[in-house]
Chains A and B, each alone.
Chain A
């Protein structure tokens, strides 16, 4: 399997611009997670989906952030407008969900820099 695929790997943008991060989960996985990693706050769960439906978005920092999963093989995380404090590495992960102890498989991450 190709694993979790994220694009782009690196994104540099200017404050105020819209940013869209993309994720393709492992085929057959029912759960998809978006995380943000920063030096100050560590690894934070932003939102997760089950069968394409958002289950918990309590970690989404504010209305500038939105996430969608239009089908089982694709998800987006959008930031509009972006701000310098959004600079971070964003990870997507997926799991089969058959058991709550099932492994989450992480993508390589997207490093976002907002100038």
Chain B
């Protein structure tokens, strides 16, 4: 079945550092790809998405590019802030299916 694999966490960085969280997927069709973020004590929020190969999703300084050839959707940010501390989930939604398949989540902590 479809699956999503994220890099192991937790990840700890200093403020203004460059961030990469790796995400790869396995799917039989042509999925749409998502990054969700979960702040402490809250539900998940959509951060960005991409619906076809080579699309780039971006929001709040975060970016991710849909790479079909490497089945990847890595999350990047050039300069992280303390407020970016959260758990980040990569997910896919296969064609014709409404349900999301999530990765295991990566906990990010940014120190001042």
Whole-angstrom distance from the CB of B60 to the nearest CB of chain A?
A: 15
- Bound-state Cα–Cα, A43 to B99, Å: 12
Main SS at interface, chain B = loop
**B28 contacts A by Cβ under 8 Å:** no
A residues near B32, Cβ cutoff 8 Å? 100-101
- Bound-state Cα–Cα, A85 to B89, Å: 23
Q: Chain A contact residues (Cβ within 8 angstroms of B): what range?
A: 20 to 34
A91-B43, A109-B43 are contacts. A104–B95 as well, Cβ < 8 Å? no
A residues near B45, Cβ cutoff 8 Å? 106
**B77 contacts A by Cβ under 8 Å:** no
- Bound-state Cα–Cα, A56 to B1, Å: 15
Q: Chain B contact residues (Cβ within 8 angstroms of A): what range?
A: 20 to 34
Q: Nearest B residue to A103 by beta-carbon distance?
A: B46
A42-B104, A101-B49 are contacts. A106–B44 as well, Cβ < 8 Å? yes
**A4 contacts B by Cβ under 8 Å:** yes
Q: Nearest A residue to B45 by beta-carbon distance?
A: A106
Best-buried of B43, B49, B96 by chain A (most CB within 10 Å): B43
List chain A positions with a Cβ less than 8 A from chain B. Answer: 4, 31, 33, 42-43, 45, 48, 50, 55-56, 91, 93, 95, 97, 100-101, 103-109
List chain B positions with a Cβ less than 8 A from chain A. Answer: 32, 41-46, 49, 51, 89, 93, 95-105
